[in-house]
Amino acid sequence: MVKLFCAIVGEAGSVFEVKIDDAESVSALKKAIKAESSATTTCDAKDLQLFLAKKDGGAGAWLTEKDVKEGVSDSDTSDLELLDVAGAPLNLVGLSVEDVRFQVTKEDVKAGTVPVHVLVMVPDGAGGSASETSASSKMIKEIHAETVLKKRTFAHSQVSSS
C-alpha cells in the first residue's frame, strides 16, 4: 500500500490522503480519489484529470502542502505530467512506494513542506470554481496540443492599421 496525498486544483488547502496498492491502475486511483472527495467532486471518477505533482515534468521536486495552501491554479499544472493512461500501474507512473517515500520531520510539518503527490483537475461544474476549472481545462488542452501533438494555434492580431 502506498499513501498518496492529493489536492484539487483551484481549491486552496484541499489536501487529502488516499491509500492504494501501487500495483493498481490510474483508473483505480481516480475511483479512490472520487470516493475520498465525493463531497467536492460531483463528476464520475473517469472524468477526473490527474497530474503527477512533481515539477519539471516529473523530474523535479514534489509540490508541497504549503504550495497547495497558497493555491494551485491551472498555470501550476503546465510543467506537470498528466496521468492519462487509465490502465497504467501507479508504480510505473512515479507513484510507487519508493517514489513517494518521505521521512516527515517536525521541521517539515512546521514549514508545510510535506509533499503532495497528485493534483486533481475536476471538469467544469463538477467541483471547485467553474471558471477556474474551465480555464484550467482549456490551458491543459493547449499545453497538451503544443507539447504532445506538436500543434500550435495562431490568431491574427486584433489591432487594425488605420
- Total domains present in the chain: 1
Q: Say if 72 falls within a structural domain.
A: yes
Asked if 7 and 112 count as a contact pair (C-beta separation under 8 A), the reply is no
Q: Say if 161 falls within a structural domain.
A: no
CATH of residue 122's domain is 3.10.20.90
Q: Say if 156 falls within a structural domain.
A: no
- d(CA 142, CA 38) in angstroms, rounded, equals 28
Asked if 114 and 61 count as a contact pair (C-beta separation under 8 A), the reply is no
Q: Say if 153 falls within a structural domain.
A: no
Taking the chain (162 residues) in runs of 10, the rounded mean pLDDT of each run is 91 88 95 87 88 84 88 71 92 94 92 92 62 54 66 59 56
Q: Say if 46 falls within a structural domain.
A: yes
Asked if 21 and 2 count as a contact pair (C-beta separation under 8 A), the reply is yes
Q: pTM, whole model, 2 decimals?
A: 0.72
